[in-house]
Amino acid sequence: MKAKAAVFREKGVDLKIEEVEIDNPQPNEVLVKTVACGVCHSDLHFVKGSILGPVPTIPGHEPAGVVEAVGSAVRSVAVGDHVIACTSMFCGRCKQCQQGRPYLCMDRRACQRKKGDTPRISLDGKPLTQFADLSAFCEKMLVHESAVVKIDDDIPLDSASLVGCAVTTGVGAALNTAKVKPGSTVAVFGAGGIGISIIQGARIAGAKQIIAIDLVPEKLDIARKFGATHTILGGPDSPDGDPVKAIKKLSRGGVDYAFDAVGLTQLSQQSFYSLAPRGLAIIVGAIPHGQKLELDPGHFYVEKSIIGCFMGSNRFHIDALDYLDFYKQERLDLDSMISERLPLEDINEAFKMMDGGKVTRTVITFD
Q: How far apart are the first and last CA of the chain?
A: 17
- For the segment 347-366, give every residue that binds Zn ion (CB under 5 A): none
Nearest to 216 by CA among 236, 190, 195, 198: 190
Q: Is 61 a catalytic residue?
A: yes
Q: Which stretch binds Zn ion (CB under 5 A): 105-113, 147-155, 213-221, 276-284?
A: 105-113
Give 42 or 231: the residue with its C-beta nearer to Zn ion.
42
Q: Is 122 a catalytic residue?
A: no
Which amino acid, 354?
M
Q: What angle do CA 229, 233, 236 make, to 5 degrees?
A: 155
- List b or e across 46-64, with b for residues whose CB sees 16 or more CB atoms inside 10 angstroms: bbeebbeeeebbbbbbbbb
CA distance 214 to 162: 21
Number of residues that bind Zn ion (CB under 5 A): 9
Q: Which stretch binds Zn ion (CB under 5 A): 44-52, 159-167, 322-330, 339-347?
A: 159-167
Q: Is 230 a catalytic residue?
A: no
Give 51 or 69: the residue with its C-beta nearer to Zn ion.
51
- For the segment 17-46, give every residue that binds Zn ion (CB under 5 A): 40, 42
Q: Is residue 97 a contact point for Zn ion (CB under 5 A)? A: yes
Nearest to 277 by CA among 260, 258, 256, 298: 256
| Rounded least distance, CB 93 to Zn ion, Å | 6
CB atoms within 10 A of CB 147: 26
Torsion of CA 89, 198, 301, 246, to 10 degrees: 160
Q: Is residue 105 a contact point for Zn ion (CB under 5 A)? A: yes
Nearest to 173 by CA among 185, 165, 184: 165
CB of 83 closer than 8 Å to CB of 151: yes
Q: Which stretch binds Zn ion (CB under 5 A): 28-36, 51-59, 100-108, 136-144?
A: 100-108
| Rounded least distance, CB 96 to Zn ion, Å | 6
Bridge partners (DSSP) listed for residue 149: 84
| Given the residues 41, 42, 88, 271, the one annotated as active site | 42
| Given the residues 97, 138, 165, 309, the one annotated as active site | 165
| Rounded least distance, CB 92 to Zn ion, Å | 6
| Rounded least distance, CB 62 to Zn ion, Å | 6
Give 105 or 186: the residue with its C-beta nearer to Zn ion.
105
Nearest to 123 by CA among 286, 262, 6: 6
Give 40 or 262: the residue with its C-beta nearer to Zn ion.
40
CA distance 121 to 131: 11
Q: Is 299 helix (H, G, I), strand (E, B) or coil?
A: helix
Q: Is residue 89 a contact point for Zn ion (CB under 5 A)? A: no
- x-marked contacts with Zn ion along 41-70 as a string, rule CB under 5 A: -x----------------------------
| Rounded least distance, CB 31 to Zn ion, Å | 22
CA distance 107 to 126: 25
- For the segment 124-143, give every residue that binds Zn ion (CB under 5 A): none
Between strands 185-189 and 255-260, the pairing is: parallel
| Given the residues 61, 82, 144, 299, the one annotated as active site | 61
Catalytic residue numbers, as ranges: 40, 42, 45, 61, 165
Give residues in contact with Zn ion (CB under 5 A).
Answer: 40, 42, 90-91, 94, 97, 105, 107, 165
